Amino acid sequence: MRLDWEIAKRGWGRYAAYPWATAAGVFTNTVFGFLYAYVLLAVYAHRTSVGGFDKADSVTYVWLAQSMIMTVYVFSWWELAWRIRDGSVATDLLRPLDPQRYWLAYDLGRAPYHFFFRGLPPFVFGALVFQLHYPTVLDAIAFVVSLVLAVVVSFGFRFIYNSVAFWLLDFRGVVTFSTSVVIFFSGMAIPLRYFPHTLRVVCYALPFASIIQTPVDVWLGKRTGLALLGFLVLQAFWAIALLGLGRILLGRATRKLVIQGG
């Protein structure tokens, strides 16, 4: 546990070292927040509700999604894949510490940094300009739980697509494709609630909804009582399932590992 904490601090420190990169990212997320907020507002010129989201829900969704984008790390994550490709993973495997646990601890140190410094500022900008929906105390607590689970689900999936590099050295296309799947099926690009009914039901069952859509629904108070509990359990299920799958892949890979480079 002590070790995990030290690794997590390194995860935080790695990103805290570049304040200008953080400022630039906040600026970009804010610009995208404004763009998508006005796009979705145009939808409500013709409708009062889409899939249970009213105007304020949708604009709040936009700013929440932009704020969560780095915390749950929607975009391509390559660090493990590069270490596999250049052979550094051999050193990692020699250490008396499991690589999956190492990267999970690192990611759980990174996520709070991104939450406070990449997530809060764009949301504040959005809140200053638009009428947003705010959670009750209970929903806010549930949101934090849901967000932590979202980070683990996202990490579990990122670890899997990075592990592909053990078998395939041309992994760039796989990573890009996996990222596009996450962006669209998590609800990052557009709320899953805007999808046609059947597609929406399927998407809610997939692990990707746990990354963006479920925490957003919780914040907006769309899930209460047993339904709320059910969605948190589903997130926990996907977190464990994806970590488990990553574990199996890692086990298989290390048994046949060929190290690149000399």
Partner 1 sequence: MWRRLVGAQVRSQLQYRRSFALDAFGSFWISFVDFLIILTIFHNVSHLNAWNVHEVAFLYALSAITFALTDLFIGHLDQFPQLIRDGNFDIVLVRPRGTLFQVVAADFASRRLARVLQGVVVLVYALWSLTIHWTVWRVIVLLASLPSAVVIFSSIWVCGACIAFWTTDGGEFTNAFTYGGTTMAQYPFDIYATWLRRLLGFVIPLAFVCYFPALFVLGKPDPLGLPRVLDFVSPAVALAAAIVAGLVWRFAVRHYRSAGG
Residues that bind partner 1 (CB under 8 A): 18, 20-21, 23-25, 27-28, 30-32, 34-35, 38-39, 41-43, 45-47, 50-51, 169-170, 172-177, 179-181, 183-184, 189-190, 194-196
Q: What are the CA-CA distances from residue 28 to residues 31, 59, 111, 121, 125 (Å)?
A: 5, 17, 18, 11, 12
- Closest CB 196 distance from partner 1, rounded Å: 6
Phi/psi region, residue 141 (left: phi>0; alpha: psi -120 to 50; beta: rest), is: alpha
* Least distance from partner 1 to the Cβ atom of residue 216, Å: 16
Give the nearest distance from C-beta 129 to partner 1 in angstroms.
9
Residue showing tokens 């704020």: 67
Paired tokens of 2: 């002590």
Answer for the pair 105, 4: CB distance below 8 angstroms, yes or no.
yes
Closer to partner 1 by CB, 76 or 88: give it: 76
Closest CA to 65 of 242, 241, 170, 216: 216
CA–CA separation, 201 and 210 (whole Å):
13
Closer residue to partner 1, CB minimum distance, 145 or 174? 174
| Smallest separation, CB 45 to partner 1 (Å) | 7
Cα end-to-end distance, the chain, whole Å: 34
Nearer to partner 1, 5 or 38 (CB): 38
Closest approach, Cβ 231 to partner 1, in A, equals 22
Between 94 and 128, whose beta carbon lies closer to partner 1?
Answer: 128
* Comparison of 179 and 260: residue with beta carbon closer to partner 1: 179
